[in-house]
Amino acid sequence: MNGTTYLNNQYIVAMPNLVDSNFFHTVTYVCQHNEEGALGIVINRLAGMKLGEIFKQMDIRVTSATAAQIAVFAGGPVQQDRGFVIHTAGGRWDATMAVSDSISLTTSRDVIEAIAVGEGPEQFLVALGYAGWSGGQLEREMLENSWLNTPFTKQVLFDTPINRRWTEAASQIGINIRELTSPAGHG
């Protein structure tokens, strides 16, 4: 990778040799990557709670029983008390960053309130915390074969069962990640 290649709106898939407990067998959706660093949300690790618990903690009125049962993700080891919503574009929320033409990342309360009453984005994933890298750190980790980058698809993010996202994200580029050994990857 050179300094002008950024991984915005792509997945980074943890290589089998990445044993850091925060990222072992994870898929991270890269929302922002530039010379200052990177921010991503892990999309295949559950936080062990339902959205209803978040509504209760935030004292948000709920009229959508189905929304209350939606699983919350553990988005990464940084700021685990802060919520992040990856969602299909559309709607006007207070703190939204467009990741692509079709996907946005919102961190404001108003999107959670809308979800609670069934008026949120068409498709979404709610996570607590994020994964962050300082300037050049993700590039170094890519060169060390810690990560494999693959293209973004809505299917992996919203439709693939959570326990299959790691293998599905890698298979998009024809790789069976379970068959890779430590030396494989970017060289």
The answer to whether the beta carbons of residues 118 and 132 sit under 8 Å apart is no
Residues of the chain with pLDDT under 70: 1-4, 181-187
Rounded CA gap, 49 and 134, in Å? 29
Range of the domain at 78: 10-179
Instruction: Give the HSE-up count for residue 187: Cα atoms under 13 Å, Cβ half-sphere.
Output: 4
How much is the pLDDT for 4?
54
Paired with 98 in beta bridges are 104
Domain of residue 51, CATH code: 3.40.1740.10
Number of domains in the chain: 1
Indicate whether 50 belongs to any domain: yes
Q: Which residue, among 103, 53, 60, 119, has the nearest Cα to 81 in the 3D structure?
A: 53
Indicate whether 5 belongs to any domain: no
Across the chain, the runs of DSSP E, i.e. the strands, are: 10-14, 27-34, 37-42, 46-50, 71-74, 78-88, 96-98, 103-106, 124-134, 147-151
How much is the pLDDT for 182?
52
Indicate whether 184 belongs to any domain: no
How much is the pLDDT for 2?
46
Indicate whether 2 belongs to any domain: no
Indicate whether 1 belongs to any domain: no
pTM of the model: 0.92
Report phi then psi at 35, rounded to 5. Answer: -65, -20
